[in-house]
Chain A
Amino acid sequence: ETGVTQTPRHLVMGMTNKKSLKCEQHLGHNAMYWYKQSAKKPLELMFVYSLEERVENNSVPSRFSPECPNSSHLFLHLHTLQPEDSALYLCASSQDGPWGGEQFFGPGTRLTVL
């Protein structure tokens, strides 16, 4: 595997389910990100991790819970979501920290909440 991978690519869940999105970067980067992409907002930052520490939480509801166990892996745990949470969730990584430089994106997980 190369670049940034995300699994699953598609996910359908009910409002009472608990699921997790997984992101893995094979680039040796030290910062990782979760973004939400929807028709309303093209690309909305959710969380930023730098050297496995969360450095940004962009007023995201607590039903979204990120986890960064090491510099290569990032998870987004989902529980009791709402239909308006349906969107494309993109993971990205970058070298040299989160405050500039090129971000490398995964292909995203298309989430549908019923």
Chain B
Amino acid sequence: TQLLEQSPQFLSIQEGENLTVYCNSSSVFSSLQWYRQEPGEGPVLLVTVVTGGEVKKLKRLTFQFGDARKDSSLHITAAQPGDTGLYLCNEKLTFGTGTRLTIIP
């Protein structure tokens, strides 16, 4: 069974700072998705990456897929309180261990 490890598990930073969270796998991804879950809601898809080395941008969020397709990162520039939530990476039916992000105003 594939294991998706995310780091850090918890992250609390001030508004305006930059941050990066990571997702690592024990095996090669066919493709990878990132979801964000806000309190009281279900996860919502942010992006899907498919090709090794791929970089996708969604406003202040930059998603990178590792060349070997065994890892991925999510970088947030100038974090806002609205970025607060649980970030989950996912391949097919397996979700990662999650990073719980809190942005302090």
Report if A and B associate in a common complex.
yes
CB <8 Å contact, B97 and A42: yes
Q: Which residues of A contact B94 (CB under 8 A)?
A: 45
Give the total of A residues in contact with B, Cβ under 8 Å: 21
Contacts of A108 in B (CB 8 A): 41-42
How many residue pairs at the A-B interface have CB separations less than 8 Å? 46
- Does residue A98 face the partner (Cβ distance < 8 Å to B)? yes
Most buried by B among A43, A98, A99, A105: A43
Q: Does B48 contact A (CB under 8 A)?
A: yes
Residue pair A100, B42 in contact (C-beta under 8 Å): no
Which of B41, B45, B92, B95 lies in contact with A107, CB distance below 8 A?
B41
A100 to B48, CA, bound (A): 10
B42/A42 in contact, CB under 8 A: no
Q: A4 vs B97: C-alpha distance in the bound complex, in angstroms?
A: 24
| Residues on A with beta carbons closer than 8 Å to the beta carbon of B90 | 103
Of all chain B residues, the one with the shortest Cβ separation from A108 is B42
| Contact pick for A42, options B44, B45, B86, B93, CB 8 Å | B86
For B93, list chain A residues within 8 Å (CB): 33, 45, 48, 56, 98-99
Question: Contact string, A85-113, partner B, CB cutoff 8 A, digits 1/0?
Answer: 00000101000001110110111100000
B43 within 8 A of A: yes
Of all chain A residues, the one with the shortest Cβ separation from B97 is A42
Of B40, B41, B48, B98, which is within 8 A of A43 by CB?
B98
Q: Is the CB of B92 within 8 A of A43?
A: no
List A contacts of B97 (CB < 8 A): 41-42
Q: Is the CB of A100 within 8 A of B88?
A: no
A90–B92 touching, CB < 8 Å? no
A102 touches B41 (CB 8 A): no
Instruction: Please name all residues of chain A whose beta carbon is closer than 8 Å to the beta carbon of B44 when the two chains form the complex.
Output: 105
Contact with B along A37-49 (1 / 0, CB 8 A): 0000111110010
Task: Supply 8 A–B pairs (Cβ within 8 Å), ascending by A.
Answer: A42-B88, A43-B43, A90-B42, A98-B92, A103-B45, A106-B42, A107-B41, A108-B42
Residues of A within 8 A of B (CB): 4, 33, 35, 41-45, 48, 56, 90, 92, 98-100, 102-103, 105-108
